[in-house]
Chains A and B, each alone.
Chain A
């Protein structure tokens, strides 16, 4: 029984199937999500598969600032994903509504509507940051399932784009803005 649980935990970590949901995104993050499956980044090495049906998925990837139109759809799709499941908010939009903040067409940010496990900030985030976020979400999901905890019990994790990308420490143009945005994200969550 213990061995079986261990195997299950390991399998859940190594086989995250994604469902991608656009909540009014400008398509920038959608392109980066698809790019993370492309030959250069090849997320399939981690067992990632982009699924056609939310019923098959483990991880729901949401992009965009969540328009009023998208809210009900996102809640429905979140309900259609069977547990254990996790949610990754890709880009700055679902985290803070980004530059569209206080727009009357928006109902965001995302965590007002469904529990979010991982935020991947960036406008758009780099594919390697997205892969890091998905791997983190798979880990959270398997640990949560092992402890039989409900979704959204723990504080969400923010996967920084800069540590993942700038191994040189050269400090790319995004780093300051990214830190500010992360602080904002934390503020909104608090």
Chain B
């Protein structure tokens, strides 16, 4: 017999992973955000842009295309990377503390950060296992980029967590707004374009230079999975910032609505920035994160630790 409290927490966890904010919500949201990005870029360029259902049509079409014959261990790995990326991004979305009292555990922040990082690890591995020169260059760029922005990204999260002495997401989401938290959110927002491969940091998939980067050798259903994982990354990354910005609500539908609205606003902001900027060189990007942004992140962590000592 399973004790009732374990059963109830299990059902909550499953509901979060599968229904909201998990798969049933996250997959349509992923397609919606991909559409918002393309549409916003198009509007900024004075075009009309793709129809509403475009990412969905792209996904279905890719599922119906022939897939390449792959053999051996590297073929197996190449098939596995997109699946790992999709499942980890979906897991990251499922962990977001959107609804009040939706359960959670001490340390789920660390799990969320790991799951958010896995898709880009998969992209790096995919590019190298594809053995394409463009894939390898793209992967190398992704690796350099991920080392640069992740320091800032992790320090920003850490500063918020350290100031409040908690690694639990739901506890972090419940905290009142403070200047330190604002600083952390700004630092996260600065990292998001690099995490989502958007201009001005769209180096790994710079198609005028290295075709499609790590994705060059992917086709058909595998590419569909990559598109989906990219969309889920959108949901997870913008959702993380949205849960940090959103004030705490007791009504679940208000919380859900505010979450969606905030995510939408962040997607819009990132797309507008992406369409208004041009791609930077890799060394400029690395310098930007290591020299200009890192100092603020270090300051934020120092301030957080100082606040803890004083309290």
CB contacts under 8 Å to A, within B31-55, are 38, 42, 45-51, 53-54
Q: Across the interface, do B67 and A82 meet the contact criterion of CB distance under 8 Å?
A: yes
List, in ascending order, chain B residues with CB within 8 A of A39's CB: 45-47
Chain A residues near B42: list those with CB within 8 A. Answer: 42, 44
Q: Which B residues between 44 and 80 are near A, CB-CB below 8 angstroms? A: 45-51, 53-54, 56-58, 60-61, 63-68
Q: Is the CB of B49 within 8 A of A11?
A: no
Chain A contacts for B49, CB-based, 8 A = 42, 44-45
Residues in A whose Cβ lies below 8 Å from that of B117: none
Cβ–Cβ < 8 Å partners of B64 in chain A:
8, 11-12, 84, 145
Are B223 and A44 in contact, with the CB atoms below 8 A?
A: no
Stretch at the interface among A51-59, A86-94, A121-129, A162-170: A51-59
Q: Are A56 and B219 in contact (CB under 8 A)?
A: yes
- The answer to whether A136 has its CB under 8 Å from any CB of chain B is no
CB distance from A12 to the nearest CB of B (A): 5
Are A10 and B50 neighbours in the complex by a CB distance under 8 Å? no
- Tell me whether B211 and A52 are in contact (CB under 8 A): yes
A residues 38-54 touching B (CB-CB < 8 Å): 38-39, 42, 44-45, 47, 49, 51-53
The interface bits of chain B over 208-219 (1 if a CB of A lies within 8 angstroms of the residue's CB, else 0) are: 001110011111
CA distance A53 to B133 in the complex (A): 12
With a cutoff of 8 Å between Cβ atoms, the chain A residues found around residue B54 in the complex are 14-15, 47
Tell whether A7 is near chain B: CB-to-CB under 8 Å: yes
Q: Do A47 and B50 contact each other (CB < 8 Å), given the known contacts A52-B211, A55-B218, A56-B212?
A: yes
Give the chain B neighbours of A24 by CB distance below 8 A. Answer: none
Is A115 part of the binding interface, using a Cβ–Cβ cutoff of 8 Å? no
CB of B67, distance to nearest CB on chain A (Å): 7
Contacting residues, chain B, for A10 (C-beta < 8 A): 57
Give the number of chain B interface residues (Cβ < 8 Å): 35
B61–A8 touching, CB < 8 Å: yes
Q: How far is the CB of A167 from chain B (nearest CB, A)?
A: 20
Q: Which residues of B contact A156 (CB under 8 A)?
A: none
Q: Pick the contact of B50 from A12, A44, A53, A56 — CB < 8 Å?
A: A44
Q: Is the CB of A83 within 8 A of B207?
A: no
Task: Evaluate contact between B51 and A14: CB separation under 8 angstroms.
Answer: yes
B220 interfacial contact with A, CB 8 Å: yes
Q: Could you mark each residue 196-235 of chain B with 1 if its beta carbon is under 8 Å from any beta carbon of chain A, else 0?
A: 0000000001010011100111111001000000000000
Q: Is the CB of B60 within 8 A of A7?
A: yes
A11 contacts B66, CB within 8 Å? no
A1-25 contacts to B (CB < 8 Å): 7-8, 10-12, 14-15, 17
Also in contact, A11 and B57, with CB within 8 A (given A44-B42, A55-B218): yes
Report B207 CB to chain A, min CB distance, Å: 4
Given known contacts A14-B51, A44-B47, is B65 in contact with A83 (CB within 8 Å)?
yes
Q: In the complex where A42-B48, A44-B42, A83-B65 touch, is A11 in contact with B215 (Cβ < 8 A)? A: no
Are A56 and B215 in contact (CB-based, < 8 A)? yes
Give A14 to B45 CA distance when docked, in angstroms. Answer: 22
A10–B58 CA distance with the chains assembled, in angstroms: 11
Does the CB pair B220–A82 fall under 8 Å? yes
In whole Å, how far is B127's beta carbon from the nearest beta carbon of chain A?
Answer: 12
| Contact A84 B57, CB 8 Å, known A44-B38, A53-B215, A55-B218 | no
Known contacts: A42-B48, A44-B47. The answer to whether A82 contacts B66 by CB under 8 A is yes
Within 8 A of A (CB), among B7-26: none
Query: Once the chains bind, are A8 and B215 in contact (CB under 8 Å)?
Result: no
A55 to B216, Cβ gap below 8 A? yes
By the criterion CB–CB under 8 Å, are B60 and A8 in contact? yes
**Chain A positions near chain B (C-beta within 8 angstroms):** 7-8, 10-12, 14-15, 17, 38-39, 42, 44-45, 47, 49, 51-53, 55-56, 58, 82-84, 145
Considering the complex of A and B, which 3 residue pairs feature the smallest CB-CB distances, nearest first?
Answer: A52-B207, A52-B211, A11-B60
Q: What 12 additional pairs, Cβ within 8 angstroms, besides A53-B212, A55-B223, A56-B215?
A: A11-B57, A14-B57, A15-B61, A38-B47, A39-B46, A42-B48, A44-B49, A44-B50, A45-B49, A49-B58, A52-B211, A83-B66
**B interface, CB within 8 angstroms of A:** 38, 42, 45-51, 53-54, 56-58, 60-61, 63-68, 134, 205, 207, 210-212, 215-220, 223
Query: Would you list 8 pairs from A and B whose C-beta atoms are within 8 A, ordered by A residue?
Result: A8-B63, A11-B64, A44-B49, A45-B51, A47-B50, A51-B212, A56-B219, A56-B223
